Each structure stands twice: as structure tokens, then as C-alpha cells.
A = this chain, B = another copy of it.
């Protein structure tokens, strides 16, 4: 398989589904729905939805069934970016080269657009013809996995500790606490939900959970490395923005070479976790390479 073709086909399907699932721009209040769509369609790489679809595929599931949950995940990711960018938080004027939500719509509407996107995710997950079309027991588990990953002991918790650590020297366990929650939690949840919706048995679910935890951390180590060595385009952040902000990163704590070694190690451990799975897991294997190899 060619990963580039695979990814662009997947991203197109996700973008199309997002366009259908999000309230239209002319639905009242139009300003709010415009702001929600502005950020959702701001050039995201859709890495979490792609991983969810790939995990579903890896256990022989029907990829179509996963689209609502995959889009819900992207809405949650987008809300977190809108709130992270706010003046009271990271105070970023640009993301992926476009003005951030509060620069375009004002701070109040940006806060509310984030709130609405988070809520919209759960509307979609519980919609009888969308996320709620699957078995209701699985639907409840999917909602729970996603909510926990996004919550106070998941993504938001990671964001809080990250914020509290700015400009302070932190140790490796704290850095891993931040990363496994701030980015890792949603990535792991995406993979677990893909597995569940795809009908994974317990062994496959466990294997994919191991893959998700390792790939999620690898993604963050690679992200930290790319923040230093360039490739602004790849991850959509400004080069050197972590350093400028005094944020702790793997290269700052471990050095560049040791960080690269660690990223490769995590990639190999992620690949190892996939061994019990068959050829359906090929996209997940290639994505693990894709995440890590450009930073190493």
C-alpha cells in the first residue's frame, strides 16, 4: 500500500463526514456555527480519526461505522486547540498559518465555539443514526473512553500540568505525565474506539491498546523533535515555539540524539504490539513509521 494515497483518501472521507455532521453555517446562531467550522476546517491532519479508522480496519471492522466517532474525536481535538490558543492560555495569533479563532471571531465566541465543539462530539456520539447506530452497550463504552481521555485526568489534566510547568524545570516522569495525557490520551482513545466499534476481541483490543499507548508517546517525542529541527509544515506548529515558551520537551530533557533513540524505540515497541494482528494492521504499521521516521 502507498501511505500517502491511503492517508489522503481517508482524510477526504473524514472531511466530507465532518461537513455533514457539523451544523451548517446558516443554522442559528450562524456566527457560532461559522466559528466551529472555521477551526474544524483549518487544515488539521486528522491523525486521530485516521488512527481510529485504521484500528477498526486492523480487526476486520467496517470503516464506515467508525466515521461518527472519528469525527467526534476531531471535534474534541479542535476544541482543545481553540482553547489552548486563547490569550489566557498560549496566546497564539496563528495556527497552521491561519489566524486563530479568537483573532477572527473574538475571545467570547472562541470560548463558546470550543465549548460547542466539545458538546457536539457527544451529540454525534449519541445520535441514533450516527454514533449511536452501533450496539448501545458499545456506544456507551465508546462515549466513556472518549470522555475520560478528554477529561480532567486525560487531555485537560495534561494541559493543566503543562501550563503549570512552563518556565520551570521538570523531570522526565512529569514530562511523560503531560504527554501521555495532553496528546497521548486522545490518540489511545481513538485506537481503542476503532477497535471496539470494529468488533475487536479482548486479545486484539489489548494489542491495540499497547500500540496506541506507545504510538501516542512516539508521536509526542517526534513532535518535540520536529519543534527543534524544523518541518513546520509537518505538525502545523511554529518552529521553536516550545522553546520560546519555556516548555519542557524531550530534547530539552534528554538531548536530541537520546530523544531520537527513544522515538525509534517507541515505534518498534508499537510495531511489536501489532504482531498478533494480520495484514489488516498494515496501515497502523506504516503510520507508526510515518510518525517517527521524519524526526529521526
B156 touches A119 (CB 8 A): yes
Contact, CB under 8 Å: B118 / A160? no
Q: Which residues of B contact A112 (CB under 8 A)?
A: 83, 156, 159-160, 163
A33 at the interface (CB under 8 A from B): yes
Cβ–Cβ contact A31 & B160, under 8 A: yes
Cα-based distance from A130 to B36 in the complex (angstroms): 32
B-facing residues in A81-138 (Cβ within 8 Å): 83, 86, 88-89, 106-109, 111-112, 114-116, 118-120, 122-123, 125-128, 132, 135-137
Q: A123-B144, A137-B136 given as contacts; is B115 within 8 A of A83 (CB)?
A: yes
**CA distance in complex: A139, B122 (Å):** 12
Check A164 against B29 for contact (C-beta < 8 Å): yes
Verify A160–B32 contact, CB threshold 8 A: yes
Instruction: Report A140-181 CB contacts with B as 1/0, cut-off 8 Å.
Output: 110110011011110011011101100000000000010000
- Tell me the interface secondary structure of chain A in the complex: helix
Q: How far is the CA of A29 from the CA of B164 in the complex (A)?
A: 10
- A120's partner among B31, B106, B123, B152 (CB-CB below 8 A) is B152
> Given known contacts A126-B143, A136-B140, A140-B140, is B111 in contact with A152 (CB within 8 Å)?
no
What's the least CB distance linking A179 to chain B, in Å? 14
Give, as a whole number of angstroms, the nearest-CB distance from A148 to chain B: 6
CA of A23 to CA of B160 in the docked complex: distance in angstroms? 15
- The answer to whether B111 touches A89 (Cβ under 8 A) is yes
Candidates B36, B135, B147; contact of A122 at CB < 8 Å: B147
List B contacts of A136 (CB < 8 A). 135-137, 139-140
The CB with the most chain B CB atoms within 10 A, among A156, A159, A163, is that of A156
- Answer whether residue A203 sits at the interface, using C-beta atoms and an 8 A cutoff: no
Among residues 21 to 41 in chain A, which have CB atoms less than 8 Å away from a CB atom of chain B?
Answer: 23, 27-29, 31-33, 36
User: What is the bound-complex CA distance between A8 and B133, given in angstroms?
Assistant: 41
Which are the 9 A-B pairs with shortest beta-carbon distances?
Answer: A136-B136, A88-B107, A126-B144, A116-B152, A122-B147, A119-B151, A126-B143, A29-B160, A123-B147
